[in-house]
Chains A and B, each alone.
Chain A
Amino acid sequence: MREELLRIIERNSRIDLKELAVILGAEEIDVVNEMAAMEAEGIICGYHTLIDWEKTSIEKVSALIEVRVTPQRGQGFDRIAERIYKYPEVNAVYLISGGFDLLVTLEGKSLKEVSAFVSDKLAPLESVLSTATHFILKKYKDHGTILTRQYEDQREKVSP
């Protein structure tokens, strides 16, 4: 049940528990217990909302920042990653393979604010060797959801 349950709530975390039980063909109590267990195990880490801020009047700027760092003896990348992810304006920090080490995603009110974060906070960190900041111009798809298109049923209304 776990895998299917996770696939459903990954798409729709607001689904009614009773309904969730029905479509899984399980008892509601078992679903509740399973979800509580997965929360405790840290498998379910939160129930967020996917927002297309573009469609609101609120200004937001997002950026992807490539960061090259020197790993520290005994702690690898974890210590520097922690120093970065503790900033609340940082959305995500990933350790990645390839030409650089950490990918940091960031949200700010303006270009200026994001630039200030990079130049005042991120770049001066001891083990940071270099950064490259990419501002996001348009989000087409996020979290598996296409943001630019409304679904339209193009089928004939009745067919055999």
Chain B
Amino acid sequence: MRNPLSDRIVQIKPSGIRKFFDIVSEMPDAISLGVGEPDFDTPWHIRDEGIYSLEKGRTFYTSNLGLKELREEICKYLARRFDLHYDCQNEVIVTVGGSEAIDIALRTMINPGDEVIIPQPSYVSYEPCAILANAKPVILNLKAENEFRLTAQELEDAITERTKVLILPFPNNPTGAIMERADLEAIARVIIQHDLFVISDEIYAELSYKGKHVSIAQIPGMKERTVLINGFSKSYAMTGWRLGYACAPQRITEQMFKIHQFAIMCAPTTSQYAAIEALKNGDGDVERMREQYNQRRRYLVHAFEEMGLPCFEPFGAFYIFPCIREFHMTSDEFATRFLEEEKVAVVPGTAFGDCGEGFLRISYAYSLENLKVAIGRLERFVKRLKAQQGRDV
């Protein structure tokens, strides 16, 4: 038989998180700080609207772009929260999660051999999606000393004459880093000077704890160069509903639309009705959840300080990214031993790029009570390691 597989897909590495997932699944009593999704249930009024839409028999396809009312609400929301003004008829596509938006944005903008700059550590799907879109991914290693923000100099250094697109993943998974207005203004100058485009993944926009999130599309001259990606998963605790959206200038969205139309048809109808309710009446839910994440965040920052584990203060998403270099272990070894000895799952930083080596991603999408138990175990583990190191010296 002939090889049924494409060479390109075979050479893509499976997600580093997968391997860790398999180990954890065999330990039923392990507790986890490893998830990348909210612990809250979707607020009931939103779920109820989904149920109601089913009762009403709204079980058909929607228009390819998504329900008009939903697109209108998305535009109102972006205007209300970020002073961003998109035309709901021509500049918005409702997608199956932010993930689909990343994929179709890349496939729409890339010609073979174009370079896409991907800052890492970052979400696992940018690089494979870029490869599948025929791009040449150029990895840009963010640095702990910059609190994992992207600097203009770093960007400048990564640009070649083939560079076309920058992926901008802030607030960041896994580091919790954010980009403030001044940071964005600095890189915007470089982007405009080199005539680049930006795919800005702002799925964690609502989970910012140092003032309101600023989108790169708000920086003058940037909206026309930006594909803005957002969605409902993190802000409204709606991961399983699989609903996101992309906003961009019409000449980009009308081409993205073709891929979306042929590959997806439309985002799930039930989820779209629920999402309308989320945008209309969910601001209070978002605020309530953000407040609780923020309390946990402060608790963890304090706990790591007490433990003496170096860690910059993260101001976004629901992750904290402590450094474990002092123990002379790889992130993988540390996470594996911590799991085996203390039965707590954390994700090695390397799952999000090679430059995540020496770091761990710890999620605080858990109740304070759960966090306390897990952090107690981490403290015990770290003490033990330090005592062992003391003996070895």
Asked whether, in the complex, the Cβ of B17 is within 8 Å of the Cβ of A159, the reply is: yes
- Count of inter-chain pairs, beta carbons less than 8 A: 52
Chain B, 248-289, contact with A by CB distance < 8 Å: what is the 0/1 string? 000000000000000000000000000000000000000000
* From A153, A155, A160, contact of B17 by CB (8 A): A160
Contact with B298, one of A22, A155, A157, A160 (Cβ below 8 angstroms): A22
Contact B32 A158 (CB under 8 A): yes
Q: A158–B347 contact, CB under 8 A? A: yes
Which residues of B sit under 8 angstroms from A157, Cβ to Cβ?
21, 24-25, 30, 32, 34-35, 345
| B48 on interface, CB distance cutoff 8 Å | no
Contact of A23 among B24, B34, B36, B298 (CB under 8 A): B298
Structural contact, A25 and B123, CB atoms closer than 8 A: no
Return B44 CB to nearest CB of chain A, in Å: 11
Q: Is B388 an interface residue (CB 8 A)?
A: no
Residues of A within 8 A of B345 (CB): 157-158
Given A155-B37, A157-B32: A4 touches B15 (CB 8 Å cut-off): no
Do the beta carbons of B299 and A23 come within 8 Å of each other? yes
B291 interface residue per 8 A CB criterion: yes
Tell whether B107 is near chain A: CB-to-CB under 8 Å.
Answer: no
Q: Which of B20, B30, B298, B345 has the most CB of A within 10 A?
A: B298
Let me know if A7 is at the binding interface, CB within 8 A. Answer: yes
Q: Tell me if B39 is interfacial: C-beta within 8 Å of chain A.
A: yes
Distance between Cα atoms of A27 and B289 in the complex (Å): 23
Contact call A160/B24, Cβ cutoff below 8 A: no
A residues less than 8 Å from B21 (CB atoms): 156-159
Interface residue from B35, B39, B291 paired with A4 (Cβ < 8 Å): B291
Q: How far is the CA of A70 from the CA of B289 in the complex (A)?
A: 46
Interface residues on B, range: 20 to 34
Tell which of A8, A24, A157, A158 has the most Cβ of chain B within 10 Å: A158
Q: Does A41 contact B (CB under 8 A)?
A: no
B81 CB contacts on chain A under 8 angstroms: none
If the complex has contacts A4-B291, A7-B291, A22-B298, are A155 and B35 also in contact, measured as CB distance less than 8 A? yes
Q: Is the CB of B302 within 8 A of A160?
A: no
Chain B residues near A160: list those with CB within 8 A.
15, 17, 36, 123-125, 173, 351
Interface check A82, CB cutoff 8 A: no
Determine if A158 and B17 form an interchain contact, defined as CB atoms under 8 angstroms apart. yes
Instruction: Say whether B311 faces chain A, with CB atoms less than 8 Å apart.
Output: no
Q: Is A142 an interface residue (CB 8 A)?
A: no
Question: What's the minimum C-beta distance from B259 to chain A, rounded to whole angstroms?
Answer: 23
A19 at the interface (CB under 8 A from B): yes
- B30's closest neighbor in chain A, by CB? A157
Within 8 A of B (CB), among A1-40: 4, 7-8, 19, 22-25
**Chain A nearest CB: distance from B231 CB in Å?**
15
A159-B319 Cα distance, complex, nearest whole Å: 13
Contact B30 A155 (CB under 8 A): no
Question: Contacts A4-B291, A7-B291, A23-B368 known; A159 to B298 CB distance under 8 Å?
Answer: no
Task: Tell whether, in the assembled complex, residue B35 and residue A158 are in contact, meaning their CB atoms are under 8 Å apart.
Answer: yes
> A25 with B298: in contact, given A157-B21, A157-B25, A160-B15 (CB under 8 Å)?
yes
Q: Mark B6-49, 1 if CB is under 8 A from A, else 0.
A: 00000000010100110011000010101111010000000000
Q: Which residues of B contact A8 (CB under 8 A)?
A: 295
Kindly supply a per-residue 1/0 record for chain B positions 120-147, scoring 1 wherever the CB is within 8 Å of any chain A CB and 0 otherwise: 0001110000000000000000000000
Scoring A residues 130 to 160 as 1 if CB is less than 8 Å from chain B, else 0, what string do you get? 0000000000000000000000010111111
Question: Once the chains are docked, how many angstroms separate the CA of A157 from the CA of B124?
Answer: 17
* Chain A minimum-CB-distance residue to B299: A23
Instruction: Point out residues on B near A: beta carbons under 8 Å.
Output: 15, 17, 20-21, 24-25, 30, 32, 34-37, 39, 123-125, 173, 291, 295-296, 298-299, 302, 345, 347, 351, 368
4 A-B pairs with least C-beta separation: A158-B34, A23-B295, A157-B32, A158-B21
Residues of A in contact with B (beta carbons under 8 Å apart): 4, 7-8, 19, 22-25, 153, 155-160
User: 14 A-B Cβ contacts within 8 A?
Assistant: A24-B295, A25-B298, A156-B21, A157-B30, A157-B34, A158-B20, A158-B32, A158-B35, A158-B345, A159-B34, A160-B15, A160-B123, A160-B173, A160-B351
Starting from the known contacts A158-B20, A160-B351, 13 additional A-B residue pairs (CB-CB under 8 Å) come to: A7-B291, A8-B295, A22-B298, A24-B295, A25-B298, A156-B35, A158-B35, A159-B21, A159-B35, A160-B15, A160-B36, A160-B123, A160-B173
